[in-house]
Chain A
Amino acid sequence: MKTLKNIYENIGLPRLIIGLFFIFLVVTSIVLGFSPAALFSDVLRRWLMYGTLVLAMVPGIQSGIGLNFGISLGISAGLLGSVFAMEISFLRNWNEVLGAGAPWLTLLLALLFGIIMAAILGTLYGMLLNRVKGSEMTVSTYVGFSVIAFMNIVWLSLAFKNGELSWPLQGRGLRNTASLSGSFGGLLSNPDVVQSTQPAWLHWLAFKIGDFTVPLGLILVFALLCFIIWLFFRSKLGIAMSAAGENQLFTTTTGINVDGKRIQGTAISTVLGAVGIILYAQTYGFLQLYNAPLMMGFASVASILIGGASVRRAKISHVLIGTLLFQGILVTALPVVNEVIEIGTLPEVLRIIISNGIILYALSKTKGGNQ
């Protein structure tokens, strides 16, 4: 009895409800006759697609800035990096010069640009957050919104030659959704793309077993990122950062520069945001500009909270469980709902209720303050 209660307490009520709901949806969809293989490959794809963005929450929470709603900053950096990389690739005509290597170079260049910009922006952002201790979440939410609004102006003013990015027949302004099919879209996750564009020795990156798609390349990249973060929080630097987030007073007396650690945590979180959006776009096959990333921060925050993180503590396992549950529900709810009652918007409504409900729940658990 006691162990049962222990298990219950470890899981927590919201996770239990959401977990059971997910299992219920999976069972229902299989009973309704959907192919489990297709369903699970969809769940897997979405899990990996959002994984890195959720992973970006960990350094933020651990270093003490709380839930990083300002991840939009990193997302904007990643998008900007991708856009620049694609334009350079187009101007240099890499597709003809390099052949199968072109998407790889574009991807790497996008990551490079994105990471550099995110590191700079993240450092500045961390410095801002050090000056607003106690209200990081409110401030970061609105900084995130402002950045997206500002980027809207940027997207509208960029004059690019690449036809996949810019509107045809207009001198300036980028598309709302830019297809990545001529670039790095699906390079790590889409079997069709990999089989048709890459040499045979790279075909292991994404393949099919029956109906089940294995995006092995993406799995490896995501696992590597998780491992790096896991390792980082076991290094001296990472432990110091966790300590700074946990107890500022104690940490200061042991001679650790708390503010510096917070800036580092924010910068790493922002960089992961940039990497996350590039991997997201890669999996999705499209680059979503303008207001599309506005609420992505909320989805990431909700995911890690569903995984069991609090505003003060987060682990890699929280990222994995939370993203699986949150995205899993969204993926499985759509066909089930469409089969039972024909209201296509219900999953979207569910997403809004679940994600914001869980954030509210987590906030109400941390009495007396933003941290």
Chain B
Amino acid sequence: MSQKTNVLQKAGSFLFDNKVMIAFAAICVAAIVLSGSPMTFIVDGVFTRITRNTFTVLALIIPVLAGLGLNFGIVIGAVAAQIAVFCVVYWGFGGFSGMLLSVLIATPLAVLFGYLVGKLFNRMKGAEMIAGLILGYFADGLYQLLFLVIIGGIIPVNNPKLIISGGVGVKNTIDLTGNLKYAIDSVRMVDIVTVLFYVVLAITAIKVVLHLLKKYQLHKGDFILFGVVGLLFGISYIPVIERFLSTDRLGLLDALTAVLIVLAVVQIIKIVKSIWIDKKPAKNLVKPILALLGYGLIFGLTFIPEIENVLLFVKLPVLPFLLIAGLCWFNHKILSTRLGQNMRTVGQSQSVAMASGINVDQTRVIAMIISTVLASWGQLIFLQNIGTFSTYGAHTQIAQFAIAALLVGGASVQKATNKQAIIGVILFHTLFIVAPQAGKQLFDNAQIGEYFRVFVSYGVIALSLAMHAWKQFKKEVQPPTEGIDLGNSALSPMAEKQQILD
């Protein structure tokens, strides 16, 4: 009996914790049903948008961790990326090397901008979000000044493809076809594997040398990594696999199958390990076996014609997804470094962090630099995928949409995870794709659907900020009995006032 209530409680708290996400998922499902759009269209659109936007949304996580709230200042990272893209296109570079050059230009710019923003935010502690929002608009103004007046007006630039016919100012849109379009998307899997192999080879060689010099202790993991990558590299020479890998797009069905196989192998290794090596009781086998059954079920579902059609239709660019996965891994790994721990402490309470000898201001600046650099890379991925660079519009809504997506995934001002970011991107962009059609079916007017999705993106931010502030305010009014949070000492008059009221 008690177990039953426990399960109910768990379900209840799961529902409560994820109320934003669940509500949004319900809206999405309703909109999908109303819109009557074919699933292939929706799934394809959603995956395209995942490729474009997830990286930027993931760039928001570190500032949340460091207590800076939702970083409305990522607009500035996007601006850095766009300056780089303009330079690269102007100089006539293209392809993957052009993209690398863009990264090389964008990164130092973003580091500089992030440093300045971090410094500014340190002067406005507690008002970072509103400051970031205004800063975004301010940066947009400076960007327009640069692109409309200074380029051509002060710096002579002669390129009729890029410059407005009067000779001053950059055109509204810059076509990236033929230079940077799909520069990242179209990298072939074979190349990725080859580069990966040589990188791992080099790292392992350095490690071996260091080991021989007795400066580094080699361990099993190093060899396993090298072995796996080497095996992959070796397999890639088998003709069938080589042909498969020499494309740049991966069918969703293949991707799903591959992921399922890898997951299944991991579970089987777990089972084998627990039976023959650890010799644990059979009870521990329940979870892996259930997981295996689950994978099997998912794989079975892919044989249903409707689902198979969708899966066969959608093609994923490989490298962007690997980059997204890499960023997830980075966000996860940074937590176990000293820097990550410091950020966490600063995020929880600045006074506690200060007392334990952490340089609070510096940590916050570093968090801002990382976020700005990641946002600039995210914008590069976005631009190369979309293929046309809208000079004065590409960056304006990025913070708005990225933050709304993160919040839809169930994140808050103080807590955000990779999982929430990815779920958020899927839900938010599903609504974005189906809303106009749903609006047309429901109100006979596609424009209403479009306005509705804008309303939702503003509304979800307003709601979530208000809920956060409310919670925060309640906490201040009724300080927790065990140990008062030192971080809020500056605001204590308000708490005292409330006590008097009570």
Known contacts: A132-B466, A353-B142. The answer to whether A149 contacts B131 by CB under 8 A is no
Which of B141, B455, B490 has a CB less than 8 Å from the CB of A352?
Answer: B141
Which of B130, B462, B472 has a CB less than 8 Å from the CB of A146?
Answer: B462
Q: Judge whether A139 is part of the interface by a CB distance below 8 angstroms.
A: yes
Q: Judge whether B282 is part of the interface by a CB distance below 8 angstroms.
A: no
Q: Judge whether A221 is part of the interface by a CB distance below 8 angstroms.
A: no
Known contacts: A341-B153, A349-B145. The answer to whether A139 contacts B465 by CB under 8 A is yes
Contact size range, A: 35 or more
Chain B residues whose CB sits within 8 angstroms of the CB of A128 once the complex forms: 466
Chain A residues whose CB sits within 8 angstroms of the CB of B459 once the complex forms: 146, 149-150
CB atoms of A149 and B451 under 8 A apart: yes
Q: Judge whether A306 is part of the interface by a CB distance below 8 angstroms.
A: no
Q: Judge whether A316 is part of the interface by a CB distance below 8 angstroms.
A: no
**Interface size counted on chain B using CB atoms at 8 A:** 53
A-contacting 9-mer, from B14-22, B222-230, B494-502: B494-502
A-contacting 9-mer, from B49-57, B118-126, B368-376: B118-126
Q: Judge whether A197 is part of the interface by a CB distance below 8 angstroms.
A: no
Chain A residues whose CB sits within 8 angstroms of the CB of B452 once the complex forms: 153
Known contacts: A298-B137, A349-B148, A368-B125. The answer to whether A342 contacts B458 by CB under 8 A is no
CB atoms of A342 and B123 under 8 A apart: no
Q: CB-CB contacts of B139-163 with A at 8 A, as 1s and 0s? A: 0111011001100010000000000
CB atoms of A133 and B134 under 8 A apart: no
Chain A residues whose CB sits within 8 angstroms of the CB of B148 once the complex forms: 343, 345-346, 349
Known contacts: A138-B129, A138-B130, A360-B131. The answer to whether A249 contacts B455 by CB under 8 A is no
CA distance A112 to B142 in the complex (A): 42
Q: Judge whether B138 is part of the interface by a CB distance below 8 angstroms.
A: yes
Main secondary structure of the interface of A (DSSP, over half): helix
CA distance A134 to B125 in the complex (A): 12
Known contacts: A134-B494, A249-B496, A367-B124. The answer to whether A141 contacts B144 by CB under 8 A is no
Chain B residues whose CB sits within 8 angstroms of the CB of A326 once the complex forms: none
CB atoms of A352 and B166 under 8 A apart: no
Q: Judge whether B445 is part of the interface by a CB distance below 8 angstroms.
A: yes
CA distance A131 to B469 in the complex (A): 8
Q: Judge whether A253 is part of the interface by a CB distance below 8 angstroms.
A: yes
Which of B137, B153, B455 has a CB less than 8 Å from the CB of A356?
Answer: B137
CB atoms of A156 and B500 under 8 A apart: no
Q: Judge whether A210 is part of the interface by a CB distance below 8 angstroms.
A: no
Known contacts: A131-B470, A133-B494, A352-B137. The answer to whether A142 contacts B124 by CB under 8 A is no
Chain B residues whose CB sits within 8 angstroms of the CB of A156 once the complex forms: 445, 447-448, 451
Q: Judge whether B78 is part of the interface by a CB distance below 8 angstroms.
A: no
Chain B residues whose CB sits within 8 angstroms of the CB of A88 once the complex forms: none
CA distance A353 to B141 in the complex (A): 5
Q: Taking the nearest CB of chain A, how far is it from the CB of B463, in angstroms?
A: 8
Q: Judge whether B491 is part of the interface by a CB distance below 8 angstroms.
A: yes
Q: Judge whether A370 is part of the interface by a CB distance below 8 angstroms.
A: yes
CB atoms of A356 and B141 under 8 A apart: yes
Chain B residues whose CB sits within 8 angstroms of the CB of A132 once the complex forms: 465-466, 469-470, 473
Q: Taking the nearest CB of chain A, how far is it from the CB of B145, in angstroms?
A: 5
CA distance A135 to B131 in the complex (A): 12
Known contacts: A156-B447, A360-B131, A369-B490. The answer to whether A146 contacts B458 by CB under 8 A is yes
**8 Å CB contacts to B: which residues of A340-361?**
341-343, 345-346, 349, 352-353, 356-357, 359-360
Chain A residues whose CB sits within 8 angstroms of the CB of B447 once the complex forms: 156, 173
Chain B residues whose CB sits within 8 angstroms of the CB of A345 once the complex forms: 144, 148, 169
CB atoms of B473 and A134 under 8 A apart: yes
Which of B145, B168, B458 has a CB less than 8 Å from the CB of A142?
Answer: B458
CB atoms of A142 and B461 under 8 A apart: yes
CA distance A340 to B150 in the complex (A): 15
Chain A residues whose CB sits within 8 angstroms of the CB of B120 once the complex forms: 360, 364
CA distance A134 to B145 in the complex (A): 34
CB atoms of A364 and B466 under 8 A apart: no
Task: Name the residue of chain A whose CB is nearest to the CB of B452.
Answer: A153
Which of B126, B142, B166 has a CB less than 8 Å from the CB of A369?
Answer: B126
Q: Judge whether A258 is part of the interface by a CB distance below 8 angstroms.
A: yes
**8 Å CB contacts to B: which residues of A113-161?**
128, 131-135, 137-139, 141-143, 145-146, 148-150, 152-153, 156-157
**8 Å CB contacts to A: which residues of B433-476?**
443, 445, 447-448, 451-452, 454-455, 458-459, 461-462, 465-466, 468-470, 472-473, 476
Q: Judge whether B135 is part of the interface by a CB distance below 8 angstroms.
A: yes
Q: Judge whether A109 is part of the interface by a CB distance below 8 angstroms.
A: no
Q: Judge whether B296 is part of the interface by a CB distance below 8 angstroms.
A: no
Q: CB-CB contacts of A277-306 with B at 8 A, as 1s and 0s? A: 000000000000000000000100000000
Chain A residues whose CB sits within 8 angstroms of the CB of B141 once the complex forms: 349, 352-353, 356-357
**8 Å CB contacts to A: which residues of B80-125?**
120, 123-125
Q: Taking the nearest CB of chain B, how far is it from the CB of A284, in angstroms?
A: 23
> Nearest 3 pairs between A and B by C-beta?
A352-B141, A132-B469, A142-B462
Known: A135-B129, A153-B451, A353-B142. 15 other contacts (CB 8 A): A138-B469, A141-B130, A145-B458, A145-B461, A146-B458, A146-B462, A149-B454, A156-B451, A248-B497, A249-B497, A352-B138, A353-B141, A360-B135, A363-B130, A369-B490
